[in-house]
Amino acid sequence: MDTTVVNTGTEGKTWGGGNQPLKASYGKMMMWFFILSDALTFSGFLAAYGFSRFKFIGSWPIADEVFTHIPFFHGNYPMIYVAFMTFILIMSSVTMVLAVDAGHHMKKAKVTIYMFLTIIGGLIFVGSQAWEWATFIKGDYGAIQTNGGNILQFVDTDGNRVAVRDIAISEHGERVQHERKSGLWFVSEGTLPSYTIDEVYNGLEANPNVLVRTQTLTEDGKKTVLSREESLKQIKENGKLVVEGANLHVNEYGSPLFADFFFFITGFHGFHVFSGVVINIIIFFNVILGTYERRGSYEMVEKVGLYWHFVDLVWVFVFTFFYLV
């Protein structure tokens, strides 16, 4: 700290600016106020998520049905992987604060080890988030989007989800994806869905034990399941598009807004984690090179530590509002 404060000759003179009522160095205080403004940014995003959710409170996707996967395992495990991610981030927060503590005691070797562990934790977290995104984009069971933009999913009579690919009867469709080489060079289109509405409808007709589930929530917070006749009628009359996975336009799990906010908020948080890792790496090398040993203070570790804890703090809220509530 002493090395960063410039001697201005005003020490002890209250009206000359020599007074330090907050007893914190300039750098640390500015880090706190940056964190405050960043916290307001994140709460703006989360409050906007809350706005959209309250707006569609009767049809919002159920997070437990959306995030159910664990890498390398099959089956339905809601929450487990996110809990693991949360734990990793808290753990890397702990190693960070241990690095700060070792810094106070000027123990270079310990600071180095703890900074290294913090970086590893951060990388595991970013990797997990990338995997989470990939799973979400790829999708699970597929669904039908209606003309009005609602999502219709399939369940069997016991209420278990049924994948579109398991019921659809594929026909030899003549519709192929238009590419620039095969027609107008200035016209192109995105990938076509694997199935057409007709194929799914025929499949539904052939499977008498499959029903349609709408995104409307019932009194006890479950999704509404339609009767057999109503199911066929809905797909026939309102079905427009087969949706697999989620992106910024469509979302097989329900409201596209859910996917938009998921990508935006976890993306913005992931960007913070990524930049935190980069800053940690820079500080890590400075520690190894002995910069702070020479400076006589490890306050820089404390400042990046504040940022790193803040990233953890934000995740605690993202975890609650995206996965729990």
CB of 96 to other proteins, least distance (A): 8
CB of 260 to other proteins, least distance (A): 15
- Cα–Cα distance, 102 to 109 (Å, whole number): 9
- Cα–Cα distance, 256 to 151 (Å, whole number): 9
Specify the residue, 14 or 191, whose C-beta has the smaller distance to other proteins: 14
Q: Show the DSSP H helices in the chain as ranges.
A: 26-55, 63-66, 80-104, 108-138, 164-167, 197-206, 228-238, 256-289, 291-295, 299-319
CB of 24 to other proteins, least distance (A): 6
How far is the CA of 199 from the CAs of 67, 205, 240, 302, in angstroms?
28, 10, 12, 60
Specify the residue, 58 or 71, whose C-beta has the smaller distance to other proteins: 58
Length of the chain: 325
Specify the residue, 46 or 277, whose C-beta has the smaller distance to other proteins: 46
- Cα–Cα distance, 230 to 227 (Å, whole number): 5
Residues with Cβ within 8 Å of residue 190, at least 6 apart in sequence: none
Specify the residue, 12 or 190, whose C-beta has the smaller distance to other proteins: 12
Specify the residue, 220 or 229, whose C-beta has the smaller distance to other proteins: 220
Say if CB 101 and CB 305 are below 8 A apart. Answer: no
CB of 190 to other proteins, least distance (A): 25
CB of 315 to other proteins, least distance (A): 10
CB of 44 to other proteins, least distance (A): 6
CB of 41 to other proteins, least distance (A): 11
Specify the residue, 32 or 274, whose C-beta has the smaller distance to other proteins: 32
Specify the residue, 104 or 138, whose C-beta has the smaller distance to other proteins: 104
Q: Which residues bind other proteins (CB under 8 A)?
A: 1, 21-24, 29, 32-33, 35-36, 39-40, 43-44, 47-48, 50-58, 64, 78-80, 83, 86-87, 90-91, 93-94, 96-98, 100-101, 104, 146-148, 150, 216, 220-221, 238, 297, 299, 302, 305-306, 309-310, 312-313, 316-317, 319-320, 323-325
Q: What are phi and psi for residue 188, nearest 5 degrees?
A: -145, 165
- String of DSSP letters for 11-76: TT-GGGT---TT---HHHHHHHHHHHHHHHHHHHHHHHHHHHHHHTTTTPPPHHHHS--BTTB-S-
Specify the residue, 143 or 167, whose C-beta has the smaller distance to other proteins: 143
Closest Cα to residue 230, out of 216, 246, 250, 244?
216
CB of 97 to other proteins, least distance (A): 5
Q: What are phi and psi for residue 144, nearest 5 degrees?
A: -110, 130
